[in-house]
Amino acid sequence: MYLPIGCAVRDHPAVIGFHTSHDVELDTQPLWDLPWALSCEYTTFDSDQSCVHLRIPIETDELHLSVNDGGTIVSIAETG
């Protein structure tokens, strides 16, 4: 089964922590209310497609995750 990358990382501690720091409780948000979880607008791919990059915006801040082709998060960065 294939899932949008946002669905796959939704429960990662970095994603939960980023939302918590912005007073957003992920456990009360259905996936369809999280645009980054379902829309390809927030994802980009490396040229060789070995890594997908997800941008999660909240207000003026963003969480950036890179996920390798094995499904492992290989980098996490916050901006804003």
Residue ranges per structural domain of the chain: 5-79
pLDDT band of residue 21 (cuts 50, 70, 90) is very high
Tokens of 12: 């990662």
For residue 62, list its beta bridge partners. 57, 79
Q: How far apart are CA 17 and CA 13, in angstroms?
A: 6
pLDDT band of residue 2 (cuts 50, 70, 90) is confident
Write down the pLDDT at residue 74. 96
pLDDT band of residue 1 (cuts 50, 70, 90) is low
Q: How far apart are CA 54 and CA 69, in angstroms?
A: 13
Q: How far apart are CA 48 and CA 33, in angstroms?
A: 31
* Residue given tokens 């980054």 in the structure block: 36
